Amino acid sequence: MRSILIAGNWKMNAGPVEADKLSAGINEKLAGRTLKSDVVVCPPFVSLHAAVKNLKDSPVQVGAQNVHFENNGAYTGEISTSMLQEAGCKYVILGHSERREYFGDTDEVIAKKVKKAIADGLNVIFCVGEKLEERKQEKHQKVVMGQIKAVIEHLTEEDASQLTIAYEPVWAIGTGETATPEQAQEMHQFIRNYLNEMWSTVQLSGVRILYGGSMKPANAEELLKQEDVDGGLIGGASLDAESFSTIVDIAEKIQS
């Protein structure tokens, strides 16, 4: 059985001072609890320290929002896998549509980053998703399949145990518009079938597939109840300790 993964992507929000408050708030809600779900928060690099410190006695793990594919050296402005691990990160988000759109993260670059992060022991939340135009033209499955293929053709089946895929339709990110549970389920099932085709032996163990795009307490239950929706990658609603922990509670209820 795949347990649910609830991940908060703080994006470019919450510097060290605010992150200290937010992670302390999340800690207050979740510390001391034994959860069936896996829970992760992904602050900006400069706020990792505050989150790791405040969440060290909680079931919540900490992740980053990007990583470079080289070990170290003359790469001004970049952060390596070993730096993330030294800072206490267990996860990294890669391939987010905002990085694809604004920071030149092509399929090729993303593939290198995913491969490197997995090789160095990080769990990767690898994001895919179509734009509104592509959905209107009914190209969404083709687009998502292309994004997945570009990365997983560089991975081995053993790498799958450190891989989570996040389906985030670009038109649902930060817009308040959510994919319907049926749209999410349809795409998640499509992704799972595709992975099963590519990787015969991971069929039953299963890579988790998260939904992302305006997930919040009000719609989390119907999304998380879908058979192939194994969790959420949450932006806006993860910036509020109450909303985030409510989504975790919903995930717990579904699994009990």
| Cα separation values, 128 from 40, 158, 177, 181, Å | 19, 21, 17, 17
Of the pair 160, 215, the CB lying nearest ligand 13P is at 215
Confirm if 128 and 167 have CB atoms less than 8 A apart: yes
Nearer Cβ to ligand 13P, position 199 or 250? 250
Name which of 63 and 80 has its Cβ closer to ligand 13P: 63
- Rounded least distance, CB 186 to ligand 13P, Å: 19
207: tokens are 């890579």
For residue 96, indicate whether it is catalytic.
yes
> Cα torsion for 31, 34, 40, 41, to the nearest 10°?
-20
Which residues neighbour 72 within 8 Å (Cβ) at sequence distance 6 or greater?
80, 82
Nearer to ligand 13P, 179 or 207 (CB): 179
Q: With the C-alpha atoms ordered 158, 64, 32, 238, is the resulting torsion angle positive or negative?
A: negative
Q: Output the smallest distance, CB 72 to ligand 13P, in A.
A: 27
Out of 98, 130, 134, 168, pick the active-site residue.
Answer: 168
- Active-site residue 154, yes or no? no
Smallest separation (angstroms) from ligand 13P to the CB of 227: 22
Alpha carbons 68 and 48: distance in angstroms, whole number: 16
Under a CB-based contact definition with an 8 Å cutoff, are residues 46 and 14 in contact?
Answer: no
Q: What is the DSSP string of 172-227?
A: GSSSS----HHHHHHHHHHHHHHHHHH-GGGTTT--EEEEESS--HHHHHHHHTST
Token couple for 152:
């997983």
Q: Which CB, 199 or 231, lies closer to ligand 13P?
A: 231
Min separation Cβ 51 and ligand 13P, Å: 16
Residues lying near ligand 13P in the complex (CB under 6 A): 9, 96, 168, 173-174, 212-215, 233-237
Number of helices (H), then strands (E), in the chain? 10, 8
Catalytic pick among 96, 98, 130, 134: 96
To the nearest whole angstrom, how small is the minimum distance from the Cβ of residue 94 to ligand 13P?
A: 11
Active-site residue numbers?
96, 168
